[in-house]
Amino acid sequence: MDRKKFLKKGVFGLGAFVAIPTTISSCSKSEDTNPTTSGTGSCTISPTETKGPFPILTPTQLVRASIIGNRTGIALLMTLTIQDKSNGCAPLSGVLVDVWHCDKDGNYSQYGGTSLQSINYTNETFLRGRQATDSNGKVSFISIFPGWYSGRAPHIHLEVLTSSGTSLLVSQIAFPKDICDTVYAASGYKGSANQLNETDNVFSNSLSLNLADSLTGNVTDGYTLLKTITIS
């Protein structure tokens, strides 16, 4: 399914809406003014990372393609491919993929009212979701470009689980600084992140494997992120 059809189906078919034009605009190659590709092209096991302080609490209730909820920001379509190192890096179908990340202001749903996050969003579930991989080992989520919070470089959390719920891998995805700077200069975001990927406590020793394989698009039409996750 092409990007425009996917966004229309995901945003309007699931009852979610982002109050920005980027969610329904297609992004042709000629419009991809900020392409970045960082994949190694090898079948290397993805790094295991911490779930962090705001893990997804109710993934079984959040099976959905659009995870935007009531948040606004620059559109992001992420497609993750899950493959199995022990089986010649063949795609893994039917495994569960959970994703979660902060909003443009650096806040998470399902948490808040604490020293880690003062704003209370304990009754919200935005920017969290689960899907099962298709026959090609792929899942896609409609979201917004995440913001950042002090002490961490911009990132997306993910967990891969068996269909019965056994965890196979917890990892995180990093974003190229140049694209982050472009997005964070846009209206509604709070300026450049104060933590670099290279000095981030999660990415500093595994950045080449954490970075998105491909991140293309622009602030008008939104961005498309591709990432292959390899489990052992």
Question: What are the tens digits of pLDDT across the range 113-164?
Answer: 999 999 999 999 999 999 999 999 999 999 999 999 999 999 999 999 999 9
List the structure tokens of 79: 């497609």
Q: Are strands 167-174 and 214-218 parallel, antiparallel or unpaired?
A: unpaired
Dihedral through CA 110, CA 111, CA 113, CA 118, nearest 10?
A: -120
State the total domains in the chain. Answer: 1
pLDDT reported for residue 42: 67
Distances (CA, A) of 4 to 9, 22, 31, 221, 224: 9, 10, 14, 10, 11
Residue 139 sits in a domain whose CATH number is: 2.60.130.10
Residue 2 has a pLDDT of 53
Core vs surface per residue 22-44: b (16+ CB within 10 A) or e: bbbbebeeeebeeebebeeeeee
pTM: 0.86
Whether the CB-CB separation of 197 and 209 falls below 8 Å is answered with no
In the chain, % of residues over pLDDT 90: 81
Domain residues for the domain of 226 are 3-231
Query: Closest Cα partner for 83 from 92, 75, 74, 95?
Result: 92
